[in-house]
Each structure stands twice: as structure tokens, then as C-alpha cells.
Structure 1
Amino acid sequence: MSPRVYGIMHRVHHAYTDTEKDPHSPSFDKTVLAMMWRTSVTYVGILRNRATVDPKFTRNVPEWTSFDLWGNTWWSRILWSCIYISLYIIFAPSAWWFLLIPFHIAMGPIHGVIINWFAHKYGNINFETDNTSRNLFKVDLLMLGEGYHNNHHKFPSRSNFAMKKGEFDPIYPVVLLFEKLKIIRMNNQKDVLIEP
């Protein structure tokens, strides 16, 4: 998947949540498959420069054209599938683990459905917003913090998606480590724990 297109679509999603312009919304699409299809069409349109995108959504998004195009080829998909299968062959403690391979290979679309469909339909609301975003889990290890979708929609620029006591975003310590190693640079922001 193209990181550039993902970044652009994510910005569009936040700007137009739950409207016809949202690239993935259960409020507009009647079924999961309809939402996935519209997301795919939007993704390819942006990737291939067939879709008109407002410049405010592309500003400061890194552009690595060859990398983005390579990531969307069948060769890339086959290579990653072979890597996943190899890891299962090497590390799976029993043959039953091989049943997980299709889910691992399709984890991008599966993750997209869980967050963009279910986290806009089910779960808890920590903060009032102008959209249907919800938090799927109290402790979000399964989606690595992205299940705190209501928190994220309320504070989209925060790098720590956990907001209330008892919530934990397992990726936030990785973000802090990457900043310390100077792999990334975070904007100055207050990541304060908000008490209920």
C-alpha cells in the first residue's frame, strides 16, 4: 500500500467523515463490501493521479513515486506473501497456525474494515464529535491503539491515541523511541492523560 495515498485518504476521511466525500464510511455505504470497493476506487484514483485532490490534503505528504507504485504491484504482494509464509514455516509451533496466513496476507483490508466500519458503528464514545467515531476497546492491543477511534477523531494530531485512565496505546512508546533515535520528529504537543 502506498504510504502517500494512505496519508491523503486519511486526511480526506477526517475532513469529510460520514459524508459522501469520505473514502470509507458506514454512514454513507450500506454494506462493508460497498465501503471497501469505494475505498479501493478512491485509492487507485489517487495513486494513478486520476482523481483530483485538493492541495490542502497533499501538503507536506512525502512523495516517493517509484516506492508507491512498487507497493501496489502484484510482485510486491507476492513478495510480501512469500515473506509471511516463510515466517510461518520457520516459527509456527504447529500446522494449525498456517490457517492464519490468509488473514495475515489480507491484514490491510481487514484492519481497514475493523477501524473504518466497526469503529464508526460500535463501541464507546469518550468525546462528543460531529461524526460517528467510537472506541472499540478499553485496552487496544488488537488494533495497536487505532481502536481508540473516537479519541483520534477528537484529537487527530495527537500521537498517543489513549486518552483516559485505563487506556493504553502500545504504539506510542515506539513513537517516542523513534523520536529519541531521531528517526522521526514530532511536533510539540501536550500528551496529557485526561481523567474521566
Structure 2
Amino acid sequence: MSSNRLIKQAAEWVKPAPEAFDLPSESAQKVEWLRCLPFMLLHLSAFAVFFCSFAPACIAIFAISYVVRMFGITGFYHRYFSHRTFKASRFVQFVGAALACTSGQRGPLWWAAHHRMHHRHSDTDEDFHSPVKKGFFWSHMFWFMTAYAYPTYTKQIPDWKRYPELMWLNRFDWIPFVALGAVLYACGETAVAAEWFGATGLQWLVWGFILPTIALYHATFSVNSVAHVWGSRRYNTKDQSRNNLVVSLLTLGEGWHNNHHFFPGTAQQGFFKGEIDPTFKILCCLEKLGIISSLKRVPDWVKDKGT
């Protein structure tokens, strides 16, 4: 690799990702290892857990960080920005997008654009992350490490391009992510936190940022990989989407993937009794509080077609 190419990939750690109207004429399926070095180093940093003592508060810190940020992904990146299954004010949509950015899974418009393309081409050669066409591990994580998947394809998100604050956040999605890590470390270093929680700044950083971020990555990725390989099928869709209870438990209800692919135009993923969908329950609470509105529920005819 040339020195210019090395510099270019290193600069991509912080500079805005490119925006493109459509897919490139020639797909670049090669993994850009240098650009993705922070992603890999974050995984290695999990070993820091062996160099800091454990406190009972660490479990609570991990759980809160994981659940709150997972809701940012499922409630806003997926059910709002990708599928528009409820309405929100400009302020609420920005806050929801910023919350989801703290998960380290790119910006709201990038996420929505790629997800919309996935639905249009699910489990075909044009699907970015089909385990059926491209293998399990490619669909799980390697796909987004390529030059092909790097840009935000603006053709897919004409409805969101008119919001300059969302375009800015999409270009600098790493800022909320890094800020969260800094805030968590600072919280742990305060005397009040040390007295109340008995956890140091390093413990807050490891248990509140590093470990839950890695868990968030692979739980979210499992919807693309696991939920297209293992599970049950209530609906005869054209793809291989599956309903998977384990994935649902890890992702606040996103694992009812066959339901979702049959009818993506609802804020619900669990269509039937026993299909646990915490994200939808939280959205219902937000609707009652007047924070969001027009929450789209699953129609009866959709349930009637399920087996």
C-alpha cells in the first residue's frame, strides 16, 4: 500500500465520510484494515478488564449503557430513520440520532441508507450483508469495513438530506461516541461517583463504554447474520429472514426479523403474544408522554397471514 493511501485511510478516522448519490460502478469489496484500526483496537482494549478491579456497580453501569444505547439504535436508527414508523420533532430526532451515535455504529443517515438498500435487495447479490450470498462472517462485520460500504448513499435518504443538523451529525458521528467515553471516565473520577458507586474512572470507562460498545456491535450485527440463518419463519418472504428469540433478547426486540421483513412499515417487530419487543414498549411510553406521535402499529391483516 502506498504512503498516500496509508495517510488517506488514517485521515478517515476523523474526517467526514464521503457522500455518494449512487453505488460505484465497480464495487470495492476489499477490507480497509487501516481505516478500521480503531474498531479493532477497541476490541483489544477489552483486555483492560483484567487490569482494573471489579465492583458490583460495574454490572449496573454496563447494563444501563448497553440498554440506553441499544434503544438509540433500535428505536431511532432503525424504526425511525430507516422506516419512519413514528413522528418526532426536529429536536427529538436530533437527540435520538446523537444518542444512537454514541454506539459507534456510524451516523443516522449512513445507517438508514444502507438498511433501506438491504430491504430492497435482501439476500440477493446486491445485498451488502447477506449471509446467504456472501457468508456468515462477511454479513456479520466485514462488509462495513470495505470501501464499498463506507459512503453514505444519499439517493436512499432524500427525506433526511434537508436537515443540515442531521447531515452534520452524520459527517461527524464519532464526536458523540468519543464524548461519551470521556464523560464516563470523568464521572468515575469524581469524588461523588467514587463514594456512591465505589467505581473508578477506569472501571467506568471499561464497564460503561468499552465492553458494552463491543457487545452492542455484535448484538446488532447478529440481526444481519444470525437472523438470516437460524430461527423460525412465520411468513413466506423472498429472503431468508428468521425470527430468533436470542437475538430479540439481545437487541430489545429486533430479532423478530422475519416479521419485520414481511411488513417493515410498523414500529412493532414482535407481532404476536410472547414475541418480546422492549423497543416498541418504550416507544409506546414516549408516545403517551407526547415525545413522539403517530406510532404505526401492526395491522390485523398482517397478523392474519402469520402462521
Shorter-chain TM-score tier: 0.7 to 0.9
Residue 153 of structure 1, aligned match among 252, 261, 281? 261
Normalising by structure 2, what TM-score? Answer: 0.51
**Number of the residue aligned with 1:13:** 118
- Per the TM alignment, residue 131 of structure 1 is displaced from its structure 2 partner at its CA by 0.4
Is residue 59 from structure 1 mapped to residue 158 from structure 2 by the alignment? yes
- Per the TM alignment, residue 87 of structure 1 is displaced from its structure 2 partner at its CA by 7.2
Cα distance per residue 1:37-75 (max 9 Å; x no partner): 3224344211xxxx5x5x3x213236412211221x3x5
In the aligned structure 1, how far is the partner of 2:140 from the partner of 2:134?
5
In the aligned structure 1, how far is the partner of 2:198 from the partner of 2:130?
36
Kindly indicate whether the alpha-carbon contact (under 8 Å) linking 2:227 and 2:247 is maintained by their aligned counterparts in 1.
no
Residue 214 of structure 2, aligned match among 96, 106, 114? 106
In the aligned structure 2, how far is the partner of 1:102 from the partner of 1:134?
30
Is residue 172 from structure 1 mapped to residue 280 from structure 2 by the alignment? yes
In the aligned structure 1, how far is the partner of 2:209 from the partner of 2:129?
26
Structure 1 range deviating more: 22-31 or 2-11: 22-31
Residue 135 of structure 2, aligned match among 21, 25, 30? 30
Cα distance per residue 1:113-135 (max 9 Å; x no partner): 21100010111111111001101
Structure 1 range deviating more: 29-38 or 109-118: 29-38
Amino acid paired to 1:112:
T
Structure 1 range deviating more: 186-195 or 9-18: 186-195
Q: Percent identity?
A: 24
* Uncovered stretches (5+) of structure 2, i.e. residues with no partner: 1-105
* Partner SS state of residue 118, structure 2: helix
Amino acid paired to 1:152:
H
In the aligned structure 1, how far is the partner of 2:198 from the partner of 2:121?
42
Which of structures 1 and 2 has the bigger CA Rg?
2
Q: Identify which of structures 1 and 2 has the higher relative contact order when contacts are C-alpha pairs closer than 8 Å and 6+ apart.
A: 2
Over the residues paired in the alignment, what is the CA RMSD in angstroms?
Answer: 3.3
Is residue 45 from structure 1 mapped to residue 151 from structure 2 by the alignment? yes
Greater share of helix:
2
**Number of the residue aligned with 1:69:** 171
* Uncovered stretches (5+) of structure 1, i.e. residues with no partner: none
In the aligned structure 2, how far is the partner of 1:117 from the partner of 1:134?
10
- Per the TM alignment, residue 99 of structure 1 is displaced from its structure 2 partner at its CA by 6.5
Amino acid paired to 2:276:
F
- Per the TM alignment, residue 86 of structure 1 is displaced from its structure 2 partner at its CA by 6.3
Q: How many residues align?
A: 186
- Per the TM alignment, residue 187 of structure 1 is displaced from its structure 2 partner at its CA by 5.8
Kindly indicate whether the alpha-carbon contact (under 8 Å) linking 1:137 and 1:148 is maintained by their aligned counterparts in 2.
yes
* Partner SS state of residue 105, structure 1: helix
In the aligned structure 2, how far is the partner of 1:30 from the partner of 1:87?
42
